[in-house]
Amino acid sequence: MGLKKELVMHGEDLQNFDVVAGEGIKDSEEEIWFETASHPFESNNNDENKDANMSNENDFLDVDVSDPSSLFYADFPPLPEFPCMSSSSSSSSTPVATVAPKPLGVCSTATTSSSASTASSGAASWAVLKSDADQDPEPVTDHDLVQRVEEREILMDDVDHCMDMMQNFGCIDMLENTDICWDPSPLFEDNNGDENECSQYQFLQPEEVLVNRQIVDEDEEERVFEHGVVSGGMGGQNSGEPGSSTDDLALVFFEWLKSNKEAISAEDLRNIKIKKSTIENAAKRLGGGKEGMKQLLKLILQWVQNHHLQNKKMMMSGEDNEFHAVNTDHKNENATTSDTSAANPSCAPESQCFRLTTWLPAPPPPQSYVSESPVMVPMTAPPPPPGFPPTIGYMGGDPYGGGNPTAAYPPMPPSDYHTWGPTPMQYGMSPHYGGYPDAAAPFGGYPNPPPYPGFYYHPGPTEGLVRLGSSATKEARKKRMARQRSQMAEQQHAAAVVGNGNCGVVAPHGNWVYWPPPPPPQVVAPQQVNHPGPMVGQMMPPQPPIERAANGYQKQVGIEKKQGWKTEKNLRFLLQKVLKQSDVGNLGRIVLPKKEAETHLPELEARDGIPIAMEDIGTSRVWNMRYRFWPNNKSRMYLLENTGDFVRSNGLQEGDFIVIYSDVKCGKYMIRGVKVRPQQQSAKPELTNKKSNKTQKTEPTSSPAGNGPSSSPTVTQS
DNA sequence: CATACATGCAATAGA
DNA sequence: CTATTGCATGTATGT
């Protein structure tokens, strides 16, 4: 948990943000790095790594090394859109940090939310202050490292929204790199020894040392250090314009470094990423010009310092207690969450979420999140899994990513969407560890299928999780594994009722992932509010029109708060299916996409399949469905049966879609029906556009609403 | 040609 | 007779 933050500054940004005078730094013999495009690690890490890293990440990676000055990414959206500069913070990051060495989790969801739209575009518009979780105390061998990388990759499949963001923005890469051992020494002290030696971390905090020890190619490390970080970031540009202001910035930074070298590692710094646009905007708010930059830099540094130290404390609490740590984090997160949620739900206050807004005079209006600009709508580029809220940002504003049909539609994610990194949560998935007895619940007692196929089913991921834990040795790891297995078993047996897990439908804690701010009221509100019908007008009940109306975001947040849990939930996107006529007909069954089903749902041994409880995200009702398959030719056709009531109660029709998630904490499955039809009255224009393709039978949603929650579903709550 | 999936439709069960 | 179940077939798409 050493909160490692990477201050990633890239290219053009430098021009705008002459933050540090590379020279000044060099003079002092201390180096500051900023990641540059050429990531040594990327190349070194196996191919998988590359795969794992979204190609989009290029934004991060593709920085011209030659342009060291690049401190920030150019593509960052305007501040308003991203009120929160997130660092991997709290929620998401924390867990990750604790459990997993990977900063992956770090990317705070907050980031996600704001960046949501960008993600798809692969835009690196984010500046991510990511706290990195690199704190893996356990010594790592090269072999381990490799393994870890692989594991991570696997995990990536399950990535959470948050993670997606990371990946999209190339954060993953950075995260990956973070784990790698690099020698920060140059930064903080005179180098005596070889900088290449990973072993040199005397100056680092204990946790960091452990983490950093992790290894890897020294050469790479060195390279990173040289290119990416320091020199790259600061030097280049400044050299160009050695203005006094620039020097000031450099000086400020340098001074800060000197005073904090004990507590903050180069890695930490390296992990701080801030969007260019964000920086620019922030700087403007702070007075603009060099002075503004200077102020901003100070703020950032302060923030880094505070959070870093904070996290470290947490880390210090124990080494082998990943869970403990995780829990702790959660607490923090939760506690904080409430505070900020109003302003920026996606951002965990205490978490590393870097919220410039708090510092800035005029925080951007909430609406900014809901930016409806085309940019926000990932209809193009690497479409993130529709289900990913963050990515989609506004998927209809649905915090669960079910999203706005607009964005989501056509929902089908690329087949390889699973490559989206795992979310922090996944790593942190300590629920199993931490005691979420009901994790298995979703299976209705079905012993075999692990709640998280991704985790327990697949060796890779599983190990990854375990490994990510902080076991110091392989032995320790094994023990942990064993422990985990036994717990799993217990959970599975114990779990009887699906909807009732500890997770309950009620305020979950420890969200590592923050859902993006609510979308347009009309769309999201209803669900958020636990109203049965998704966005169908008729189905929207109780919510006074006003509530749903334009007040939008703020209100939404308020509602969410009231609702408590919805605001933050750790849901992992599993799959989605555009409903066909046959799916919404009276057959009461929905054909599921084979690949996703096999990948994310429990493996089916028999044709009869297994009962599977699906909690309706919108209503919190638990529908007892059956997941099964039919032999089909030489293959299988996967179905979700007993979906009739669900479909009717949600007024789903052909062209609408369902999104299935798994609650990362409880392991239960969550389902959400998303209507694609044009939102009645209040529907925003955009939405309308999006619906374009597909069978948009804009038939008035006959609201079967009347059916409401009916028989089959076990009402867990509501 | 292979695969995935939407849907038709026969077989069966229940009213 | 209707509803349900399960399989088979047709079509679209990918390789």
Long-range contacts of A470-476 (CB under 8 A, 24+ apart): A470/A98, A470/A99, A470/A135, A470/A136, A470/A137, A470/A138, A470/A319, A470/A320, A470/A321, A470/A322, A471/A138, A471/A320, A472/A137, A472/A138, A472/A139, A472/A319, A472/A320, A473/A138, A473/A139, A474/A144, A476/A138, A476/A320
Lookup: nucleotide whose C1' is closest to A637 CA: B5
pLDDT score recorded for residue A287: 67
Nearest nucleotide to A641 (CA to C1') is C5
Q: CA-CA-CA-CA torsion for A494, A499, A505, A510, nearest 10 degrees?
A: 40
Residue nearest to nucleotide B4 (CA to C1'): A594
Q: How far is the CA of A409 from the C1' of C13 (A)?
A: 19
C1’ B1 / CA A694, Å? 28
Q: How far is the CA of A291 from the C1' of B3 (A)?
A: 62
Give the tens place of pLDDT for each residue, A507-541: 222 222 223 323 332 333 223 323 333 333 223 32
Footprint on protein of nucleic strand B, Cβ below 7 A: A 577-578, 580-583, 587, 591, 593-595, 632-635, 637-638
List chain A residues with pLDDT less than 50.
1-244, 312-472, 486-567, 679-718
Which residues lie below 8 Å from residue A548, measured CB to CB, with a gap of 6+?
A521, A522, A525, A526, A540, A682
Distance in Å from B8's C1' to A707's CA comes to 28
Shortest CA–C1' contact from A596: which nucleotide? B4
Name the nt closest to A633 by C-alpha to C1'. C8
Amino acid A585 CA to nucleotide B11 C1' distance, rounded Å: 20
Largest CA distance in chain A: 76
Q: Which conformational region is residue A29 in: left (phi greater than 0), alpha (psi within -120 to 50 degrees), or beta?
A: left
- Nearest nucleotide to A597 (CA to C1') is B4
pLDDT at position A593 is 92
Q: How many Å from the CA of A688 to C1' of B12?
A: 45
List the A218 CA – C5 C1' distance (angstroms). 62
CA atoms within 13 A on the CB side of A363: 16
Q: How far apart are CA A247 and CA A105, in angstroms?
A: 35
Interatomic separation, CA of residue A581 and C1' of nucleotide B8, rounded (Å): 13
Helix residue spans in A549-635 (DSSP H): 553-563, 581-584, 594-600
Residue nearest to nucleotide C4 (CA to C1'): A587
Distance from residue A587's CA to nucleotide C5's C1', rounded to whole Å: 10
The footprint of strand C (CB < 7 Å) covers A 586-588, 607-608, 630-633, 637, 641
Distance A413 CA to B3 C1' (A): 18
pLDDT per position as a tens digit, A411-461: 333 333 333 332 323 222 322 222 222 333 333 333 233 333 333 233 222
Q: Chain B bases under 7 Å from protein CB?
A: 3-9
Q: How far is CA A326 from CA A29, A133, A315, A499, in A?
A: 37, 11, 10, 24
User: How many Å apart are A707 CA and B15 C1'?
Assistant: 22
Q: Which nucleotide is nearest to A636 (CA to C1')?
A: B4
Which DSSP letter does residue A627 get? E
Strands A622-632 and A635-641: antiparallel
Q: Would residue A694 be called left, alpha or beta, if left means φ above 0 and alpha means ψ between -120 and 50 degrees?
A: left
The token duo for A571 is 């849901």
* Contacts of residue A313, Cβ cutoff 8 Å, sequence gap at least 6: none
CA nearest to nucleotide B7 C1': residue = A582
Q: How far is the CA of A197 from the C1' of B4 (A)?
A: 52
Q: Which positions of strand C lie within 7 Å of protein CB atoms?
A: 4-10
Residue with CA nearest C1' of nucleotide B3: A635
pLDDT at A63: 33
Q: Which of A696, A51, A37, A104 is nearest to A425 (CA)?
A: A104
Closest residue to B8 measured CA to C1′ = A582
Burial of A101 (0-12, 13-18, 19+ CB in 10 A): buried
CA A128, C1' C2: Å apart?
60
